[in-house]
């Protein structure tokens, strides 16, 4: 029993968390964590945790969203609810798994209108039921700042699990959807643009009601050698696959399928890269496949080949230029 006096840590050098990055924070918290042998993928290693249970793997992920960091004034309660579910389902999709249950803890400010709760609940249910997921429980608490923590569970046959690790040199690098759409939507939401009404609708939709790629992830689990979602940026995701797979990537910039609406609000080539390469918020899948599977995979899922796995480094190949390891950062 330690009671309220706990001097064990006083000899360590102290530093404020504002001075260290997200990975360093996680490493400190996890210093003494140990996992049982049924844990296939543990804390901080992939988009989700993976635990053996009978013939399948259970897939688990949790995500905190809160007003100051994640919710713009233009977001409706319905969209906040949708996003709370979608961001977790996207992580489940990236493992090739099928989500089936969701729980949510909600910290609610006292001055919240009940009508907000209706929209919030409907948005969560809309996203969950669209993807076959039951919202089975939760917790509500009074909180100064609207805070939503969703946790999703999925399952996958042991032979179908796809991790960030697994890409081999020669594999094709592929992506679903259109990189940069959500980041362009964010620019519109913040009022920094002269977008047309059509562009505005498309890009705000991409930002506020992203579709987790559940069906695509399940199909791709037959082919993909590595996979992650692109929520923190295309660049971050490519580096994550490269690091975990111990490979690199040559990316063919011209083959990245960027929407005309995104191009229309960018000010320069450099600015466009900030949107499609370093911008966050897209819930697309970035994955690798063996070239021999390309034709068959293409019949099952809509995606674009944007590069090739090489021995090391993440570069654009024409002209050769380094892709930085950066994107949306929580810290």
CA geometry: angle 306, 312, 313, nearest 5 deg: 65
Residue 180 — φ and ψ, nearest 5°?
A: 95, -10
The CB-of-263 to a second copy minimum distance in angstroms stands at 21
Nearer to a second copy, 26 or 246 (CB): 26
CB–CB of 147/71 below 8 Å?
Answer: no
Q: Are 227 and 95 in contact (CB under 8 A)?
A: yes
Which region, judged by CB under 8 A, interacts with a second copy, from 202-210, 234-242, 247-255, 302-310? 202-210
Distance, CA of 162 to CA of 265 (rounded, Å): 35
Of the residues 97, 120, 156, 242, which one makes contact with a second copy according to CB under 8 A: 120
Q: Is 63 in the site for a second copy (CB under 8 A)?
A: yes
* 165 lies in the site for a second copy, by CB under 8 A: no
- Rounded CA separation 307/241 (Å): 13
Nearer to a second copy, 189 or 277 (CB): 189
Closer residue to a second copy in complex, CB, 100/276: 100
Q: Report the residue from 89, 95, 153, 259 that binds a second copy according to the rule CB under 8 A.
A: 153
Task: Give me the 208-247 binding string for a second copy, x by CB under 8 A, dash otherwise.
Answer: xx--------------------------------------
Judged by CB under 8 A, which stretch of 141-149, 169-177, 244-252, 263-271 contacts a second copy?
A: 141-149
d(CA 52, CA 101): 17
From 191, 206, 180, 183, select the one nearest 73 (Cα to Cα): 191
Of these, 83, 95, 122, 159, which contacts a second copy (CB under 8 A)? 122
Name which position in 71, 86, 130, 145 contacts a second copy (CB under 8 A): 145
| Nearest-approach distance from CB 290 to a second copy, in angstroms | 29
The site for a second copy, by CB under 8 A, has a size of 107
Report the site for a second copy in 81-110 (rule: CB under 8 A): 100-101, 103-110
Q: How far from 275 is each of 111, 181, 200, 229, 270, CA to CA, in Å?
A: 36, 8, 15, 16, 9
Identity of the residue, 208 or 223, whose beta carbon is nearer to a second copy in the bound complex? 208
Contacts of a second copy in 38-57 (CB under 8 A)? 38-39, 41-44, 48-51, 53-55
Q: How far apart are CA 179 and CA 283, in angstroms?
A: 9
Exposure of 249 by Cβ count < 10 A (0-12 exposed, 13-18 middle, 19+ buried)?
Answer: buried
């Amino acid at each position: 029993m330690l009671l309220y006096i706990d001097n064990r840590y006083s000899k360590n050098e102290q530093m404020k968390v504002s001075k260290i990055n997200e990975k360093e924070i996680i490493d400190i918290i996890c210093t003494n964590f140990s996992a049982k042998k049924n844990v296939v993928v543990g804390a901080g290693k992939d988009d989700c945790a993976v635990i053996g249970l009978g013939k399948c793997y259970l897939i688990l992920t949790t995500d905190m969203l809160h007003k100051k960091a994640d919710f713009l004034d233009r977001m409706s309660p319905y969209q906040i609810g949708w996003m709370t579910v979608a961001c977790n389902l996207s992580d489940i999709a990236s493992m090739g798994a099928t989500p089936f249950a969701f729980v949510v803890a909600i910290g609610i400010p006292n001055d919240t209108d009940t009508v907000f709760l209706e929209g919030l609940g409907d948005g969560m249910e809309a996203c969950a039921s669209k993807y076959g997921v039951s919202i089975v429980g939760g917790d509500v608490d009074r909180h100064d700042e609207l805070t939503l923590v969703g946790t999703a569970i999925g399952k996958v046959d042991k032979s179908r699990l796809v991790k960030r690790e697994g890409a081999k040199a020669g594999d094709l690098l592929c992506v679903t959807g259109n990189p940069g759409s959500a980041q362009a939507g964010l620019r519109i939401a913040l009022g920094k643009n002269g977008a047309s009404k059509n562009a505005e609708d498309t890009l705000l939709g991409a930002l506020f009601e992203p579709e987790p790629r559940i069906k695509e992830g399940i199909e791709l689990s037959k082919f993909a050698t590595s996979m992650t979602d692109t929520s923190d940026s295309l660049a971050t995701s490519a580096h994550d696959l490269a690091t975990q797979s111990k490979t690199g990537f040559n990316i063919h910039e011209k083959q990245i399928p960027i929407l005309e609406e995104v191009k229309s609000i960018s000010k320069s080539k450099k600015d466009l890269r900030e949107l499609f390469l370093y911008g966050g918020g897209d819930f697309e899948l970035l994955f690798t496949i063996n070239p021999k599977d390309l034709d068959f995979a293409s019949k099952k899922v809509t995606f674009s080949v944007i590069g090739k796995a090489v021995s090391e480094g993440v570069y654009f190949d024409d002209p050769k230029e380094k892709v930085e390891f950066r994107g949306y950062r929580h810290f």
